[in-house]
Structure 1
Amino acid sequence: MEFPAQVPVLSDGVVTLRAPSPSDAAGVVAQCNDPVSIRWTGVPQPYGEEQALAWLSTSIPAAWTAETGFVFAIDYDGRFAGSVELRPEGGGNAEIAFGLSGWARGSGVAKRAVRLLLDWGFTSRGYSVVHWRAYAGNWGSRRVAWATGFHFGATIPGMLEQRGARHDAWTGWIGPKDKREPQTPWFVNPVLETPRVRLRDWREDELDRMSEARTNDATAHFLPFIRQPFDLAASRWLLGHVRLQAAQGLRFNWCVADPDTDVAFGNVTLFRLSDPVPPVEGNFPGEGELGYWGHPEGAGRGLMSAAVRRIAEWYFTPAAEGGFGGKRLFIGTAASNQAARRVAEAAGFEHVGTERAAFPLGDGTVDDKVVYDLLKG
């Protein structure tokens, strides 16, 4: 069969994948000129009807005929909503690529389209592995890959080219026997408030506050792994890193802000969670650790202890009631770090042990490590 008869129609009752047509040109032009598409794809600029028709009428049919690329149009709500493609890589593997028009984002369309195409690729084409790659920072694409069951690999420096520049790439893969659902949790920080503090995500416009909070003698001494000075480039890296940790289901990171002015005064991290899957009654050991650092302007005001108490309250609340469902929290710090110890004690944590010579300091010496814990109830 020739194009478009060779293209199957795939549908889940909500989204339909079909052969692209010249009648889709207006939708393709709109999608390719969308700011999100320009930012995260290599679509040429400027892009107009001529480029769209060439792609729809010549490039796609030729790729189907030569079996070098299998592009489907995505139909949703009776309209062209984007495209999804499998690109054979040799050795029985393929790469997936997808993109949506702005109006269709946020409705689960890409997730449905990717699942349909994966099923077709594994059953009709017999692929052993399908790869996913995206520019590092493309959270929309990563969210779709996560929701459809991809396993994530390394971030590869300079792997992808875009309009003459090289960019780091996120990578992932999925096999025919993998479920088309998330393999790990994706943590989303709940906004938690008290009369003293608001706990929320860090914002892009707060890099200077982050730099100021992490550049000081106390941080250099008690957290020697944090580079000094902690400049804006380091803060920008950290912001991306904490977002990636949440996406991997590894850590929660809250910005500690003033509830009235919303000015950032520090950070609390919940990490070393003892089970990588979402808590379920009966199979979650429920242990985690808290770490914190603060801006000098917030010192001595009790903000950090208020933040730790609020996070502990949420952590111990059952998952069915909007909490995490944990059972025990730890805090570990240097025995000589009196400020960190006061926070733990003011938040209700009890000193349960001391590990001798277990906490390296910035001056090259090693301090004892004191351990505090708090139990549910």
Structure 2
Amino acid sequence: MEFPADVPVLTDGVVTLRAPRADDAAGLVAQCNDPESVRWTSVPLSYGEQQALERLTKGVPAAWQTETAFIFAVEYDGRFAGSVELRPEGGNTAELAYGLDGWARGAGVAQRAVALLLEWGFTSRGFAVVQWRAHVGNWGSRRVAWATGFQFGATIPNLLVQRGVRKDAWTGWLGRDDAREPQTPWFDVPVLESSAVRLREWREDELPRMSEARTNDATKHFLPFIRQPFDAGAARWLLGHVRLQAAQGLRFNWCVADPATDVALGNVTLFRLSEAAPPAEGTFVGEGELGYWGHPEGAGRGLMSAAIRRIAEWYFTSAQAGGFGGRRLVIATAATNKAARRVAESAGFELAGTERAAFPLGDGTIDDKVVYDRIK
């Protein structure tokens, strides 16, 4: 293909894809040196103007002429905002890549740009499947792929190389005839507050608090599937795991924090949300289950009961009013776990029943399982 003559201009009225130009150099330098680009891409560190000009005047034209990559500049609000590209891989497949400068993030620009590029790739270039790969932890990239309809596959160890270092990768794909909209819900964890508690997402700097809270004899006895001691590596894995499950529409996870100091004092998880409706409907017609554990510094303050009452209030509120729209909420624990049972009862849950010999304990015995619930 001839560059730039054969490069189409694609637009949805907000975002425009066009042939990159030499005068995009300053914008490309800013994009490549943006902290998120440095963290997640393989662009050289301290990317300079000469490197940008080399890419824009030689690398990009050559890629178009040889059809090894179809690279577009993303224009938004009259400015160069980033780039998107499709890299043919043979067999009517291509790999998707995209990146924005920091100023253009958060306005749906990447999603619009990717949607335009996919439509062109499927219709004008005849691709049957487009693949997506990103470093594990690159939530911004995953969100764009999710929003444009990609289905997610396996996490592949050491698939990508970044500046000589092997990195684990998320993978996904989109077929020509697939819907260009999310295929599962993505749960954005809301901040919930009351006079007694603040509920929010965990931060990476709180991994030691998480490790301390989950390393104790009670956890070892009543939650034997949690390894002991629960070290920093396990805490880091858990943080990534709960984020991924929220992104898959499977569970919500809150850090229970002191409302005055914001110090992490516990955790509540809302899970078993298997009956969630398709994302387009935005409603929930099933039930969920709550699990919780606390840091020793929060014991005896009624903090966990307050947290569960606040979550229940949100859970039973309709989606139209800013809640989740749930019908039934369950807490299940070992019959001998007096602390967990007190929390459930203090939060207004009623004993719904007992399952005999259904709760394995850390000492190898089997306890009864008690089930508490609340109904909308």
Write the deviation string for residues 335-370 of structure 1: whole angstroms up to 9, x where unpaired: 111111111111111111111221111111111111
Q: CA deviation at 1:276?
A: 3.2
In structure 2, list runs of 5 or more residues that go unmatched. none
Q: CA deviation at 1:305?
A: 1.0
- 1: CA distance between counterparts of 2:223 and 2:177? 44
Q: CA deviation at 1:273?
A: 1.0
Residue 335 (1) aligns with residue 363 (2): no
The question of whether the paired residues in 2 share the 8 Å contact of 1:97 and 1:132 is answered with: yes
The residue aligned with 1:299 is 299
Change beyond 3 A, Cα 1:279–1:111: closer
Change beyond 3 A, Cα 1:281–1:63: closer
Residue 242 (1) aligns with residue 242 (2): yes
Q: CA deviation at 1:235?
A: 1.2
The alignment-based identity, stated in percent, is 78
The question of whether the paired residues in 2 share the 8 Å contact of 1:149 and 1:180 is answered with: yes
Write the deviation string for residues 105-156 of structure 1: whole angstroms up to 9, x where unpaired: 1111111100000000110111111111111111111111111111111211
Secondary structure of the residue aligned to 1:363 is coil
The residue aligned with 2:139 is 139
Change beyond 3 A, Cα 1:316–1:280: farther
Residue 29 (1) aligns with residue 32 (2): no
The residue aligned with 2:7 is 7
Q: CA deviation at 1:69?
A: 0.7
Change beyond 3 A, Cα 1:160–1:68: same
- 2: CA distance between counterparts of 1:283 and 1:12? 29
What is the root-mean-square deviation in Å for CA atoms of aligned residues?
A: 1.6
The question of whether the paired residues in 1 share the 8 Å contact of 2:284 and 2:324 is answered with: no
Write the deviation string for residues 28-70 of structure 1: whole angstroms up to 9, x where unpaired: 1121111111111000123212211221122211111111110
The question of whether the paired residues in 1 share the 8 Å contact of 2:277 and 2:283 is answered with: no
Secondary structure of the residue aligned to 2:131 is strand
- 1: CA distance between counterparts of 2:261 and 2:283? 41
The question of whether the paired residues in 2 share the 8 Å contact of 1:31 and 1:101 is answered with: yes
The TM-score normalised by the length of structure 1 is 0.96
Paired amino acid for 1:5: A
The residue aligned with 1:286 is 286
Change beyond 3 A, Cα 1:280–1:348: farther
- 1: CA distance between counterparts of 2:207 and 2:314? 27
Secondary structure of the residue aligned to 2:46 is coil
The question of whether the paired residues in 2 share the 8 Å contact of 1:75 and 1:81 is answered with: yes
Change beyond 3 A, Cα 1:297–1:98: same
Paired amino acid for 1:199: L
Alignment of 1:150-299 (within 5 A): 150-277=150-277, 284-299=284-299
In structure 1, list runs of 5 or more residues that go unmatched. none
Paired amino acid for 2:88: P
Secondary structure of the residue aligned to 1:115 is helix
The residue aligned with 2:18 is 18
Paired amino acid for 1:117: L
Secondary structure of the residue aligned to 1:47 is coil
The question of whether the paired residues in 2 share the 8 Å contact of 1:83 and 1:99 is answered with: yes
The question of whether the paired residues in 2 share the 8 Å contact of 1:148 and 1:180 is answered with: yes
Q: CA deviation at 1:6?
A: 1.2
The residue aligned with 1:119 is 119
Secondary structure of the residue aligned to 2:351 is strand
The residue aligned with 2:148 is 148
The residue aligned with 2:108 is 108
- 2: CA distance between counterparts of 1:81 and 1:151? 26
Secondary structure of the residue aligned to 1:373 is strand
The question of whether the paired residues in 1 share the 8 Å contact of 2:242 and 2:251 is answered with: yes
The TM-score normalised by the length of structure 2 is 0.97
Alignment of 1:298-377 (within 5 A): 298-376=298-376
- 2: CA distance between counterparts of 1:188 and 1:290? 17
Secondary structure of the residue aligned to 2:270 is strand
Write the deviation string for residues 254-284 of structure 1: whole angstroms up to 9, x where unpaired: 1111111211110000000132336888974
Change beyond 3 A, Cα 1:190–1:19: same
- 2: CA distance between counterparts of 1:62 and 1:99? 20
- 1: CA distance between counterparts of 2:148 and 2:157? 25
Change beyond 3 A, Cα 1:69–1:282: closer
The residue aligned with 2:87 is 87
The question of whether the paired residues in 2 share the 8 Å contact of 1:358 and 1:368 is answered with: yes
The question of whether the paired residues in 2 share the 8 Å contact of 1:279 and 1:324 is answered with: no
The question of whether the paired residues in 2 share the 8 Å contact of 1:16 and 1:75 is answered with: yes
Larger mean CA deviation between 36-45 and 175-184 belongs to: 175-184
Change beyond 3 A, Cα 1:98–1:331: same
- 2: CA distance between counterparts of 1:336 and 1:85? 58
Paired amino acid for 1:335: A
- 2: CA distance between counterparts of 1:145 and 1:181? 9
